[in-house]
Amino acid sequence: MLCLIISILIYGRAASSLSQLATPRRHRRANSAPASSAMAVRRLRTFLALIALAHTSCALIDEVIDVLKIGKEVAEDIINSWDVVGKRFNATDGVDLPFVRRGERQILSRIAVVSRSIEKLEMRLRRTNAVSMLLTKKAGNGARLELRLHEMTDLLNRVAAANRQMREYVNLQRELERSTLENFAEWCVSHDPGALPGLLERVHSLVDPPNKHLLGRNLFRLVLEDIQDQHPDLCDLQLSPHQLIYDMYNTISLTEIKGYAMMQFSWMLLRVYGRGNFTQEASLTRQRYGQRTNQTAAAARAALSQAKRDLYRCDPPQHIEGETYDQVTRLLQGYIENEVDMNADGTCRENCAFYTLAQNHGCFKDQFCSKQPACKGRIIDCQFVDSDMWVCPASAKSNRRYEWIEYENGRTLGRVGSCMRGTTKVDSWWRWLFWHCSYCMCLCDDADFRSHRYFSLHECTSDVKNNKVITGVRLVKHGKVFHLQISEGTLSERGSITPGTWVPIKKFDPFESGIKEGVDYHTLTYERRAIDLDELDSPAGHVLTGVRFSMIGSHLHFEIRSTPFNYATGRLAYDKSQWISNDNTDGTDTPRSRLELHYPDIPSRSHVSLPVDSKHDQYVEFTHSDFDADAAQSTVPFIDVQPVQTLKGGALLSGAGVVHRGADGNGGFIALKVFTYDFSRHIQAETPVNEYYDVDTDTTELMPPLN
């Protein structure tokens, strides 16, 4: 809070000093005539130095830059209050002189104006209270981190309670006795360990332990070690490890600022009440504040430089098709066909293994073929399981052909259970005693109206000309086509973002006029069903402004657009945007590795959260689910359609990627991830307090004179 107050006070005061220097001596007040121009210059230097200090303090919290835009009228009103409390007086015999009360109320009323701005900032930070959220996730573990988080939460709450008490006093200023404010001010600067200065020192000791050999690692380091390796809690928190530590740093810095503000205003009030001059005490308070913020920034920066910045979604409590996941359908689906129908001659001279690539040529004598839709595409990789079976057909509205299959030899494909449509007995037969007409278990690659196997190749970019960046990504299915979709927000100073909305996708039907394969969309087929798994990040000083799919050979390929920006102003250099990708192919010296899916069951059946099991520079092929587990009726991996964006909805991102979440025996999910921006290099560990504060400089500019 004080960084705001000092900034407002100092800007107005500096302007006043400049105007006084420019005003002829005869127009100045009579009681200021003895003051020399040198003194005025020195005072102006003091205020200019404090301006730099105030900006340094405000830089500790990214969002503060927005609150600094307070109107000129408010700043002038606050400055004018110093003229009231700055008049000479004699506070004797405990008498409340009228101008003392008036000065007291002026201070409190000016505090109220800035407090409202701070309260807005608190509300924004409260949405991602990293300490309390992490504590909730760690409850019951009994680890040292949990104890430290409990202690930190308690200390932050006590400082916040004192700050709320001050706000209440501001609202009730006309009804309060002088002793009430005086006692509160004394507590704010007391040497008692339970008073405000002691609370701030205890907060700091958790961030930067005074004796690291005895007290161990700081809080940032403990958090980093706990959450670094794919911690499941981060999916619920919707924060990257980097952002979690950064938000904790912001929360702690805000507490420091509130505490520092209360202490400085307490010195001011005690001086108004005639309790002393307190110039040196205020100076020491400022120096200690600078030391703490300097050390806190150094600890945070060290942790941030090592913290991972990736963010992705884990499995939801319940899988809901169309909301949390979607499917590619009828690509390489299990299909029962008799060999007599897979050759133009209608013969049974071969066996099932002969038909590695075939097609349907008819329906012999209305056998089982008449009771199921025929595969109109290619029939691939047939195998013989057993001659006779019972088949449970799926619902006519389902994308499956069969619910389960049970062979006479006891082998089952899929989960055998009740059958809503009744089972069908399917028996192979002999022809002329020489040839066995076997029913084969094959794969059907049929791009009919039930097959959803298309991926949009349209690029998704933020409106960079209006300074908008990507704040979230997700995969969505419209009709039969999977699309990338982005949310965008407006970038402003120091990485601050005003959250926006999801940008509408460019919907289309693959079969409508003017839509071209290879230009507008890609169709998955048996030969072209690979998707590259890459994790792409921008160079330093760049942010994420675009994503798209493209084709490299037979692989569906992911790319990002990166745009440089000015961190101080937030302006994008949109004309310097570039597309970034990992163009590694099978023909290189070190080709991509394939992520194998071993006996993949339906991923939504998993009872545990599936971790990211892919690595950068891999690929995975869409394939059928396991024969035994699911009768090969589903296409895996499934597509995770959960939105990937931070809890705030407006965090700065620098990269994105396509990953696979899965495990052995599970088909897993194709999912997106993002990378939050690296703020570590923007946290200034060297807070230049001493550089701007000269102990020989007059420090009474913010203090009314005392007789």
pTM of the predicted model, to two decimals?
A: 0.77
pLDDT at 416 exceeding the cut of 90: yes
Q: Work out the average pLDDT over 545-560.
A: 97
284 and 406 co-located in one domain:
no
Nearest in space to 129 (alpha carbons), one of 244, 300, 301? 244
Would 486 be classed as within a structural domain? Answer: yes
Which of 445, 467, 499 marks a domain boundary? 445
Whether residues 317 and 207 fall in one domain: no
Q: What one-character-per-residue DSSP string does 645-691 give?
A: E-TTS---EEEEEEEEE--TTB--EEEEEEEE---GGGS-S---HHH
388-393 vs 402-407, strand pairing mode: antiparallel
Distance (Å, whole) CA 344 – CA 326: 38
**Does 202 fall in a domain?**
yes
Here the tokens at position 15 are 């302007």
Listed residues 418, 445, 472: the one ending a domain: 445
Contacts of 513 (CB under 8 A, 6+ apart): none
pLDDT at 479: 94
Residue 407 shares a structural domain with residue 477 = no
CB atoms within 10 A of CB 22: 7
For 149-153, 414-418, 556-560, 657-661, which range has the lowest pLDDT when averaged over its residues?
149-153
Contact 599, 627 (CB under 8 A): no
- DSSP assignment of 414-443, as one string? S-----TT--EEEE-EEETTTEEE-EEEEE
Same domain, 282 and 316: no
Q: Show the CA angle centred on residue 517, arms to residues 516 and 522, nearest 5°.
A: 140
Does 637 sit behind a cis peptide bond, omega within 30 degrees of 0 on the bond before it?
yes
- Tokens coding 580: 């970034």
614 falls within a domain: yes
**Distance between CA 447 and CA 453 in Å, rounded?**
8
Listed residue (668, 600, 673) closest to 637, CA to CA? 668
Q: Is residue 704 part of a domain?
A: no
| 702 lies in some domain | no
Report which secondary-structure segment, H or E, holds 205.
Answer: helix 196-207
> How far is residue 62's CA from residue 300's CA, in Å, rounded to a whole number?
14
End-to-end CA distance of the chain: 30
Q: What span, in angstroms and rounded, lies between the C-alpha atoms of 341 and 437?
A: 10
Most trustworthy range by pLDDT among 61-70, 123-132, 553-562: 553-562
Instruction: Tell me the DSSP string of 479-542.
Output: TTEEEEEEEEEEE-GGG-EEEEEEPPP----TTSTT--BTTTEEE--SSS-EEEE-EEEPPTTE
For the chain, give the mean pLDDT: 79
Residue 9: Cβ-neighbour burial (10 angstroms; 0-12, 13-18, 19+): buried
pLDDT exceeds 70 at position 229 = no
Task: Provide the percentage of residues in the chain whose pLDDT is more than 70.
Answer: 74
Domain check: are 612 and 647 in the same one?
Answer: yes
Same domain, 219 and 267: yes
Domain that holds residue 394: 333-445
Asked whether residue 701 is domain-assigned, the answer is: no
pLDDT digits (tens, 9 = 90+) for 420-459: 999 999 999 987 767 899 999 999 999 999 999 999 999 9
Indicate the number of domains in the chain. 3
**Contacts of 242 by beta carbon, 8 Å cutoff, 6+ apart:** 304, 307, 308, 309, 676, 678, 679, 680
Are residues 104 and 182 both part of a single domain? yes
Secondary structure of residue 304 in the 3-state scheme: helix
521 pLDDT more than 70: yes
What pLDDT was estimated at residue 22?
35
With bands split at pLDDT 50, 70 and 90, how would you rate the model's confidence at 335? very high
Least confident of 127-136, 224-233, 410-419: 127-136
Token pair listed for 459: 């690029």
Domain membership of residue 706 (yes or no) is no
Q: Residue 636: which H helix or E strand, with range? A: strand 635-636
Lowest mean pLDDT among 143-147, 475-479, 665-669: 143-147
Out of 156-165, 277-286, 429-438, 687-696, which region has the weakest mean confidence (pLDDT)?
687-696
Token pair in block for residue 426? 């399917």
User: Which residues, in sequence order, are CB contacts of 670 under 8 Å at separation 6+?
Assistant: 475, 531, 620, 637, 638, 639, 640, 658, 659, 660
At residue 547, the 3 state secondary structure works out as strand
Average pLDDT (116-139) is 55
d(CA 549, CA 612): 21
pLDDT score of 697 more than 70? no
Distance, in Å, from the CA atom of 428 to the CA atom of 440, rounded to the nearest integer, reads: 9
608 shares a domain with 499: yes
Same domain, 317 and 302: no
**Mean pLDDT along residues 490-505:** 91
Q: Residue 328 carries which side chain, given as an amino acid letter?
A: V
Is residue 579 scored above 80 in pLDDT? yes
Supply the pLDDT for residue 217: 79
481-494 per-position pLDDT tens digit: 999 999 999 999 88
Contact 390, 406 (CB under 8 A): yes
CA-to-CA distance for 594 and 530, rounded, in angstroms? 9
Last residue of a domain, one of 445, 461, 487: 445
pLDDT in tens, 87-117: 434 444 444 555 455 556 656 665 665 566 5
CA–CA distance, 316 with 324 (Å, rounded to integer): 7
Among the ranges given (24-38, 94-108, 230-244), the one the predictor scored with the smallest mean pLDDT: 24-38
Residue 70 domain flag: yes
Residue range 321-345: average pLDDT? 96
Q: Which amino acid appears at position 162 of this protein? A: A
Q: Residue 323 pLDDT > 50, yes or no?
A: yes
Question: Residues 578, 559: one domain?
Answer: yes
Claim to verify: residue 420 and residue 465 sit in the same structural domain = no
Do 7 and 50 fall into the same domain? yes
Question: What's residue 582's pLDDT?
Answer: 96
pLDDT in tens, 642-681: 999 987 667 899 999 999 999 999 999 999 999 999 988 8
283, pLDDT greater than 60: yes
Q: Is 460 helix (H, G, I), strand (E, B) or coil?
A: strand
Q: Is the pLDDT of residue 281 over 90?
A: no
